[in-house]
Amino acid sequence: MGGTPPDLARLEALLDPAERARAHAARRPELRRRFVLAHAATRILLGERLGRPPERLRLSRGRWGKPVVPNAPGLHFNLSHSGELALLAVAPRPVGVDVELVRSGRDVDRLSRRFFPAPERELVARGGRPAFARLWTRKEACVKAVGGRLAEGLALPVAHAAAQATVHAPDPAHAPGTPGTPVGPVGPWRVADLPLPAEPEPYAGSVALLGDGPFAVSWHTWTRWAPWDGSSVDEASRTGVK
């Protein structure tokens, strides 16, 4: 997202009580700022798409928190933010998106050995943090597409060399973890990597749609904030898939 946003209080007023509570629960001011900007922008963009004021956009949330607009059939969206980058995906079928700053604090070898299938453990051993972040965002995008929890999807086999590929849930007999435990949500999913900035900090990102049909990504970048008085958002960002 670019441009200069209005003051944070005006943007926070667009959020619903649950969103405001999450914003105020942030441990640091910069985390609160990022949350408010990302969620207010989501409301502005979806409100423009639906022809509704963003502050009146009613959202309901699934068991694990995935938001939907209940009276907007055919509109599927998902939001992810990390560091100073936020991604909003809008699609005609259930969609998940994930962005991750390639952080230095995770023990990626330990995490991959514990949760990832063997081919992915080898990829992380060779490729380090960037390889881990790429695999992680693919898994999380799949799980978010069905409104699940990441812990349920860590065993998903998402290693592929193509820019876009179909992901199938693993056979329980061959999934890592404790035998007899659920291996996560069922798909299939179609997953694509996203071209994200490498400077000043590297990011990894992926988008996943439920079902195995291929899709095209239409990529736009937020360039300007505009008033929300019923007029449209000028040069707004829409990351659409179809």
Going by pLDDT thresholds of 50, 70 and 90, the confidence category of residue 242 is low
Q: How far apart are CA 90 and CA 88, in angstroms?
A: 7
Q: Which residue has the higher pLDDT, 137 or 201?
A: 137
pLDDT attached to residue 82: 93
Q: Where are the domains of the chain?
A: 73-241
Q: Find where tokens 């200069």 sit.
A: 4
Given a cut of 90, whether residue 91 has pLDDT beyond it is yes
Q: Taking residues 209-230, what's their average pLDDT? A: 77
**Measured at the alpha carbon of residue 73, what is the angle toward residues 70 and 76, in degrees to the nearest 5?**
80
Two tokens, residue 181? 């435990």
Given a cut of 60, whether residue 168 has pLDDT beyond it is yes
Q: Taking residues 175-183, what's their average pLDDT? A: 46
Model pTM score:
0.86
Widest CA span in the chain: 56
Given a cut of 70, whether residue 214 has pLDDT beyond it is yes
**HSE-CB for 236 with a 13 A CA cutoff:** 22
Across the chain, what does the average pLDDT equal? 85
Minimum mean pLDDT range among 12-21, 82-91, 144-153, 232-241: 232-241
| Phi, psi (rounded to 5 degrees) for 157 | -85, 100
CB 82 within 8 A of CB 194: no
Question: How far, in Å, are 41, 217, 218, 221, 227 from residue 224 at the CA level?
Answer: 11, 21, 18, 9, 10
Could you count the other beta carbons within 10 Å of the beta carbon of residue 238? 17
* pLDDT tens for each residue of 149-163: 888 899 999 999 998
pLDDT attached to residue 124: 96
Portion of the chain with pLDDT greater than 90, in percent: 64
Q: Taking residues 52-60, what's their average pLDDT? A: 91
